[in-house]
Structure 1
């Protein structure tokens, strides 16, 4: 679609080169044009009835000029050359010059794709999409305690073309799908809710071929039934064991953001200036890997046209590096790690995570449990908050269990984990060999922009962590 769209506006490679040259005036260190065409849809079923179905098409171009630490940016929803030139004139205003500079010869060879670049929206008919959601509803309602069910299906297909003054001229074709299910259960007057879901850079048949409709429905019901049995959480400082997979969102928030290049260039991260230092237990090796096939956070190229890579952030507890886009990498005298991301053409790129996870250790979960006299085992999280400068975080566990005398006892509710990312890393004493990635539901927010991400980890033990709860008795 993007080739057709550009052709309709007579925007061939030569014309784009001319526009880019107009943007790259004297005094500008770097400039780029980011063309985008996106189609998205969503379907929502509530209590067996289709409540909404949406379809959205958008396209436009972002124009950016970088001068030192300054960025001039403007975008246009219209792809005719006159509208783009108006955006360019605004963006290059940071220079105050009109004399253009030479643009490097474009490198147009494509990079190996990390996903199938075909739109997922037509992989099922409208009726098949509704039938999938109704099947989820039916499966969830097999449990008599289920009173309400909500199921949604969403898909998107985005095509981008990136042209920049350092020779990038790259296209990418990005599919994305997701299924979500939420249930409300009731028993003896007590009401609880839970949700499940997943997705990635697939088409809709991925959910059918792998029986995920049943898996997601059963998981949502399972979590809700566990919540019905949950008792008050003891408050205090105690050992905490985190389960594999989605609990990696704690690493993402409490540690990952602090390793993004812009925070470290400005000196506002708790990890600033600590490359080569021991910042975590030697049990910890953490990577950000944008190259995993079909994962929600993966990209063939980032939003500056740089191929994504597997970046080691922490190795055996030693801080090895940060995540960079071109702007922050250039200012710090290093190369981009392929982590420039933007929500759309109407936003500037910034260093962001892709799929961030801890690698396997050599311990096992059973030994972790037996090593704890009084503590908790946190399996799933709702969400949390983190302060990048201090590293302090607060996270809510929506599925957790009390550990007593080396055994998992009963589920608990209202567990809140409180700590500091850099301190928690040093208190990790055991890391299992059961690494899991999340099911494909992660969305990361930063400076008002949201992008899809992935998280993961093996089970791990934190020796001491503050737990906020609803009971003072451990």
Structure 2
């Protein structure tokens, strides 16, 4: 440890003094850390030819945590200095009390870097970004005269973190993020429909704002809108469903992923609690949470407790083999942390969270899955969804879907919702495509009031017996 380790992040807190105060906070505790964060972010939105939003935010602060058993004391401040840290120590120690815990061993280090230190916020000037958004607006309107409204947005951020562990280890990570999104509204014969597309990741903004990229995004947003312009009312009833690859993995994330987070299972509130080693899904179903994919939106070199990210198998050939763990829940369950301890910011305590969650491919061509669909729907795009962790019941709305009869894809449908529960849906998977894809980098996940970026993915899937909510 050197006195210079904090210098890139703060000039008002000596590292040796911080370590001494951290050790005071965790004396008699099982675990704890000092998490220091500095973040800058920018968001620009052009809506219908006008700048609707232009925001820039810069923040910094620290969070101090002391953990003993199931309790955790957490204090945070936006001022990074010794005085604020001393006050935080007194608060965090309230969870420790007078007991004598045994301090857990710190996480192992890593030399792996999953993304560059590029600063997307500084890669283009403000006028250049506004000019780009105006170019996108004009390009979209030239694509089709039925476009009556265009919304385009750019987002970029840089998060710098340093994590000080009681054993003296210092872990640092610099996390870039960039994103572009384009939405259009089309009108024909008095009917209006919308379509949107976007994406990004932990990489340079330059690639996203290159014309060959954003023009493809614009064309895809228009394609989706025009599909919906001719869509018929969705049918209702219990039927088989084929899900497309990539972003439809959000159903997997919500209906299954949250139920495999360690805290819900330790407390027995998950639909999958107590099922370790049991067959919970159809044969051939293998689900991973993988935070080690370079440049992906959900990837993290280290989690927010300092544990290196990992490629964790959750379900192997239908058998439940693992949960996603932070340090506290892993220790209480007698297993190893999996690199899933994440937090929204310095003002939030870490908890088990997903990174990039996806299902591995099978061997069936996706066209064969659709050909085997006698009477159902083919859903390739999803919007919002809800899930009840305790029973796994979910409701998802489709943004692009088609009616299928006797293996023939028919008219697009609108207003379709998929209703079911994760545990049953896993067992009713009847076919797995060979076309695994990850989402384009648009996922955000909410849990207990905290939001973190995530990724999802899957191959095409046939699921039997889902309830489809519609209006026909």
The separation in 2 between residues aligned to 1:336 and 1:110, in whole angstroms, is 15
1:102 offset after TM fit, Å? 8.4
Deviates more, 1:138-147 or 1:169-178: 138-147
Give yes or no for contact 1:260–1:352 (8 Å, CA) kept in 2: yes
Give yes or no for contact 1:17–1:103 (8 Å, CA) kept in 2: no
Seen in structure 2, the aligned counterparts of structure 1 residues 382 and 68 have a Cα distance that, compared at 3 Å, is same
Which of 5, 14, 20 lines up with 2:22 in the alignment? 20
Partner residue in 1 for 2:353 = 352
What secondary structure sits across from 1:297 in the alignment? coil
The separation in 1 between residues aligned to 2:112 and 2:259, in whole angstroms, is 30
Partner residue in 1 for 2:468 = 467
Question: Size of the alignment, in residue pairs?
Answer: 468
1:16 offset after TM fit, Å? 2.2
Describe how 1:330-409 pairs up with structure 2 within 5 A: 330-409=331-410
Describe how 1:83-98 pairs up with structure 2 within 5 A: 83-97=84-98
The separation in 1 between residues aligned to 2:235 and 2:104, in whole angstroms, is 63
> Does residue 9 of structure 1 match 2:12?
yes
Give yes or no for contact 1:24–1:103 (8 Å, CA) kept in 2: no
Deviates more, 1:245-254 or 1:16-25: 16-25
The separation in 2 between residues aligned to 1:171 and 1:42, in whole angstroms, is 25
1:106 offset after TM fit, Å? 9.8
Describe how 1:423-442 pairs up with structure 2 within 5 A: 423-442=424-443
The separation in 1 between residues aligned to 2:82 and 2:190, in whole angstroms, is 64
Q: Deviations over 1:96-125 (max 9, x none)?
A: 349999897997x65311000221111122
The separation in 1 between residues aligned to 2:120 and 2:112, in whole angstroms, is 20
The separation in 2 between residues aligned to 1:193 and 1:400, in whole angstroms, is 14
Give yes or no for contact 1:23–1:100 (8 Å, CA) kept in 2: no
Q: Deviations over 1:109-150 (max 9, x none)?
A: 653110002211111222321232122212211211110111
Q: What TM-score does the superposition give when structure 2 sets the normalisation length?
A: 0.95
The separation in 1 between residues aligned to 2:102 and 2:426, in whole angstroms, is 47
1:20 offset after TM fit, Å? 1.1
What secondary structure sits across from 1:334 in the alignment? coil
The separation in 1 between residues aligned to 2:393 and 2:107, in whole angstroms, is 44
Partner residue in 2 for 1:457 = 458
Give yes or no for contact 2:107–2:306 (8 Å, CA) kept in 1: no
Seen in structure 2, the aligned counterparts of structure 1 residues 373 and 256 have a Cα distance that, compared at 3 Å, is same
Give yes or no for contact 1:290–1:298 (8 Å, CA) kept in 2: yes
1:168 offset after TM fit, Å? 3.8
Seen in structure 2, the aligned counterparts of structure 1 residues 169 and 106 have a Cα distance that, compared at 3 Å, is farther
Partner residue in 2 for 1:42 = 43
What secondary structure sits across from 2:377 in the alignment? strand
Describe how 1:404-423 pairs up with structure 2 within 5 A: 404-423=405-424
1:362 offset after TM fit, Å? 0.2
Q: Deviations over 1:208-236 (max 9, x none)?
A: 44822112111111111111100011111
Deviates more, 1:248-257 or 1:3-12: 3-12
1:31 offset after TM fit, Å? 1.3
5+ residue gaps, structure 1: none
Partner residue in 1 for 2:299 = 298
Seen in structure 2, the aligned counterparts of structure 1 residues 167 and 329 have a Cα distance that, compared at 3 Å, is farther
The separation in 2 between residues aligned to 1:325 and 1:319, in whole angstroms, is 18
What secondary structure sits across from 1:121 in the alignment? helix
The separation in 2 between residues aligned to 1:175 and 1:227, in whole angstroms, is 35
Give yes or no for contact 1:103–1:165 (8 Å, CA) kept in 2: no
1:185 offset after TM fit, Å? 1.0
| Runs of 4 or more consecutive aligned structure 1 residues displaced over 6 Å after TM superposition | 98-107
Give yes or no for contact 2:6–2:162 (8 Å, CA) kept in 1: no
The separation in 2 between residues aligned to 1:399 and 1:272, in whole angstroms, is 34
Give yes or no for contact 2:43–2:56 (8 Å, CA) kept in 1: yes
5+ residue gaps, structure 2: none
Deviates more, 1:423-432 or 1:47-56: 47-56
Describe how 1:205-216 pairs up with structure 2 within 5 A: 205-209=206-210, 211-216=212-217
Give yes or no for contact 1:38–1:157 (8 Å, CA) kept in 2: yes
Deviates more, 1:96-105 or 1:168-177: 96-105
What secondary structure sits across from 1:87 in the alignment? helix
Seen in structure 2, the aligned counterparts of structure 1 residues 60 and 232 have a Cα distance that, compared at 3 Å, is same
1:406 offset after TM fit, Å? 1.0
Partner residue in 2 for 1:32 = 33
